Structure 1
Amino acid sequence: MAKIDAFFKLMNDQGASDLHLVSGQPPALRLRGDIERIKYKILENDSLKAMLYEIAPEDKIKVFEETGDVDFGYEIPGLARYRANFFMQKYGCAAVFREIPSTILTAEQLGLPPVLSKLAGLPRGLAVVTGPTGSGKSTTLAAIIDEANKTRKDHILTVEDPVEFVHVSQNCIVNHREVGSHTKSFSAALKGALREDPDIILVGEMRDLETIALAVEAASTGHLVFGTLHTSSAAKTVDRIIEVFPSSEQDQIRSTLADGIRAVVAQNLFKRIDKKGRCAAQEILIATPAVRNLVRENKTYQINSAMQTGKKYGMQLLDDAIMILLEKGWISAEEAYMKSNEKAKFRPFLKTPPSDFTDA
């Protein structure tokens, strides 16, 4: 057993999402969104590096020493998988580990809106899950992929950096590819994917122009593509995909995206006040013909209005989802206000409304 495994056991027992190990500081856990220190000695660079190198593959150690940061996956059988990131900082080495549960929760267990389960049955197109880091994007996507794995008879191909949730083949064949270990890059894996007979492709992160272009192309050529982006709303996600392309190509990609897009889910996590744990609020855009027309005609500023009138299709704005959680008594008014888009809607719920300089 590696020395560091004791921290992972503690992390699992406490229900923490992340473990922080930093030279010059005591270890810390992220519990329900907050950083909490562990009662332990201050970590020294040499001893921490020895602890980290004990679990890292040799090729990853080489990359880390050459570049100053590296990502990889680590698994403790019977406990959990971990997404590891090593990086160098002013006082030496550091690492952050995100726990990936070994059990994949269903959409129903996660309390996801029913329309999200239906995304697993789409024949083709692009569905994007967005939100800030640590907002549960991977967990939501894992539930959708799990639904497809149980209900379809297809080939599911995931491309991730590193592999997070591991899906055991059920009705589908599932292949996991890790960037750096099994393929050179997201774009290289997507180029190869078109010759690997996939029906469903999961792109762990649509992080650059080439990856986004290939994902949109795969969606428009008959594949069902799921991907993630770091954007805060459905409308901004559409804009982000288009704006990554040179201006001379934006009209063409706008048309291609309008044909291929099927859904955008923008979500955020909230600390529950009624019990321990966290809950998610989702903004959901379903690409109806009217929405696709707005994308095609460069009228994305009208998408929010289309979402307000598209509730019968399962659409909802993030602020409406937050309001539901607030009215249930699950979340605090302060956090609802902090993470909302239209803060004026939530000011009446605050005991002492702040004078927010960002609203000026």
Structure 2
Amino acid sequence: MGHLDYTKLDDLLIWATEKKASDITIQTNLEVMADIGGGIHRITDVKTSKADVDGIVRYIYGENGPAEILGGGDLDPSHEIRIKGVGTKRYRVNVTGGRIPGGEGVQITLRTLPENPIHISKLGIEDDIIKNFRPEQGLILVTGPTGSGKSTLLSSGLRMLVEKPDGNEKILEYSSPIEYVYDGIDMPSSLVFQTHAGVHLRPRGEESEESIFALCVRNALRRKPTIIVIGEARDKATIAATTEAALTGHLVFSTMHTIGVGPTLRRAVMPFPESTRAAMAIDIMESLRMIVTQLLIPKKGGGKVGCREYMVFDEGTRESFLRESIDTWPRHARKLIASQAAVGKTMIDSSLELLKQDLITEETFERVAAKGKV
């Protein structure tokens, strides 16, 4: 494709989706790039001008989009393309300003989203995770870096629950933006209601953006859900609110940008001041039911494959943590998994299984193993 402007954006996205591109990058004074099968490829012949990038931002977000970027903000909208006779194609979008060769510019990243959550049988999820995905109450954290498939794993698990004839689930999801939708999923006795945090639901007063998800938890508690899904537990207000909801009889799912069970435990308690950290850590531990970390690593022959570390927090496991100093929790988690004193698996063990199945190379295994020892 040659020159790109906003009038050609949708055609480009449809073409890229058909090529199974996972991420498309549009940047000032650069050809459009796409991640296809784990490799970065140029998919236009002509560099995108500043005027065209601004036009695309306005098309996706609105007239004030370029001004918000110029003022130091970033944008996280979603984008939909309705195709007659086919349905809707959906994309998660981020727009951020920054430096480019020769000056300042804008980078737009678009990630393709499936119309419906993937069936969990296609993800190779461990039986331990599936068996422990629906406790009566508590907190389940799905973690990993950006692009690691957290939302894919979580939405597939929720699809598994709502497809059951006797599921009887009322799921309230709060995300920013909404990624997977359930329009084409048969739900015999369950329902899913999705709210775009910050768009469908916003603070009325001076509440900061960082606590928008805490507001979402409070909103959910007034609506008698069986399951609450919070897009990201990224600040102390949200962590405290999700923990409280989990301790008062609800099942809460959320995500964190952490890698590993131990680092997730550390990240969950660190936002709190020393005066309240110990008490909050106890509440968090009493609420926890499972932590699952996922990485997407290069698959032998092309593409990517999920590699997971996880721990199930049953009553005995939680009590063993509560007997330990909070500072030693990450080390204690490694010890419990290594000794098989808790239900779980390390990232190293998961990558070794993938190596034995000839799904990854030895080089990939060594890279994952090195990270797992940190």
- Judge same fold: TM > 0.5, yes or no: yes
Question: In structure 2, what is the Cα distance between the partners aligned to 1:223 and 1:308?
Answer: 31
Partner of 2:340: 310
What's the CA shift string for 1:175-221, capped at 9, x where partnerless? 11112211222121112111111111111111111011111111111
Q: What does residue range 340-355 of structure 1 map to in structure 2 within 5 Å?
A: 340-341=369-370
Q: Does 1:34 align with 2:49?
A: no
1:62 positional shift: 6.4
Q: Does 1:286 align with 2:312?
A: yes
Partner of 1:329: 358
1:32 positional shift: 3.0
CA contact 2:170–2:192 (8 Å) conserved in 1: yes
Question: In structure 1, what is the Cα distance between the partners aligned to 2:70 and 2:49?
Answer: 18
Question: In structure 1, what is the Cα distance between the partners aligned to 2:337 and 2:177?
Answer: 34
Q: Does 1:4 align with 2:31?
A: no
In structure 2, what residue type is equivalent to 1:19? I
CA contact 1:294–1:303 (8 Å) conserved in 2: no
Q: TM-score, normalised by structure 2?
A: 0.86
Question: In structure 2, what is the Cα distance between the partners aligned to 1:260 and 1:250?
Answer: 15
CA contact 1:120–1:147 (8 Å) conserved in 2: no
Partner of 2:205: none
Structure 1 residues 2 and 118: alpha-carbon distance in aligned structure 2, compared to 1, 3 A threshold: farther
1:119 positional shift: 3.7
Unaligned runs of 5+ in 1: 345-358
CA contact 2:116–2:181 (8 Å) conserved in 1: no
What's the CA shift string for 1:100-147, capped at 9, x where partnerless? 111321211111112222344221100101111111111000111111
Structure 1 residues 203 and 341: alpha-carbon distance in aligned structure 2, compared to 1, 3 A threshold: farther
Please identify, of 13-22 and 65-74, the stretch whose mean Cα deviation from structure 2 is larger. Answer: 65-74
SS in 2 for 1:135: coil
CA contact 2:295–2:307 (8 Å) conserved in 1: yes
Unaligned runs of 5+ in 2: 1-5, 203-211
Structure 1 residues 135 and 61: alpha-carbon distance in aligned structure 2, compared to 1, 3 A threshold: same
SS in 2 for 1:4: helix
Partner of 1:150: 163
In structure 2, what residue type is equivalent to 1:12? T
Question: In structure 1, what is the Cα distance between the partners aligned to 2:12 and 2:279?
Answer: 51
Question: In structure 1, what is the Cα distance between the partners aligned to 2:63 and 2:128?
Answer: 44
CA contact 1:291–1:303 (8 Å) conserved in 2: no
Q: Quick one: which of 55, 58, 67 aligns to 2:60?
A: 55
Please identify, of 161-170 and 96-105, the stretch whose mean Cα deviation from structure 2 is larger. Answer: 161-170
Q: Does 1:182 align with 2:220?
A: no
SS in 1 for 2:60: coil
Structure 1 residues 259 and 87: alpha-carbon distance in aligned structure 2, compared to 1, 3 A threshold: same
Q: Percent identity?
A: 27
SS in 2 for 1:157: strand
What's the CA shift string for 1:289-341, capped at 9, x where partnerless? 33212332334112112113438x75111100000111111111112212224
1:66 positional shift: 4.4
Q: Quick one: which of 172, 179, 182 aligns to 1:164?
A: 179
Structure 1 residues 142 and 40: alpha-carbon distance in aligned structure 2, compared to 1, 3 A threshold: same
Structure 1 residues 190 and 2: alpha-carbon distance in aligned structure 2, compared to 1, 3 A threshold: farther
What's the CA shift string for 1:225-273, capped at 9, x where partnerless? 1111111110111111011211111211121122110000011111111
CA contact 1:4–1:52 (8 Å) conserved in 2: no
Q: When the two structures are aligned, how many residues end up with a matched partner?
A: 343
Question: In structure 2, what is the Cα distance between the partners aligned to 1:144 and 1:125?
Answer: 16
Question: In structure 2, what is the Cα distance between the partners aligned to 1:59 and 1:227?
Answer: 31
Deviation beyond 6 Å, 4+ runs, structure 1: none
1:67 positional shift: 4.0
Q: Quick one: which of 226, 231, 238 aligns to 1:199?
A: 226
Please identify, of 335-344 and 27-36, the stretch whose mean Cα deviation from structure 2 is larger. Answer: 335-344
Question: In structure 1, what is the Cα distance between the partners aligned to 2:67 and 2:128?
Answer: 45
Question: In structure 2, what is the Cα distance between the partners aligned to 1:342 and 1:98?
Answer: 26
Structure 1 residues 65 and 176: alpha-carbon distance in aligned structure 2, compared to 1, 3 A threshold: farther
Q: Does 1:338 align with 2:367?
A: yes
Q: Does 1:105 align with 2:118?
A: yes
Structure 1 residues 264 and 343: alpha-carbon distance in aligned structure 2, compared to 1, 3 A threshold: closer
Q: What does residue range 63-82 of structure 1 map to in structure 2 within 5 Å?
A: 63-64=68-69, 66-77=71-82, 78-82=87-91
Question: In structure 2, what is the Cα distance between the partners aligned to 1:25 and 1:342?
Answer: 33
Structure 1 residues 285 and 251: alpha-carbon distance in aligned structure 2, compared to 1, 3 A threshold: same
Question: In structure 1, what is the Cα distance between the partners aligned to 2:267 and 2:288?
Answer: 13
Question: In structure 2, what is the Cα distance between the partners aligned to 1:276 and 1:173?
Answer: 37
In structure 2, what residue type is equivalent to 1:181? V
What's the CA shift string for 1:32-64, capped at 9, x where partnerless? 333222242001010121133223245766644
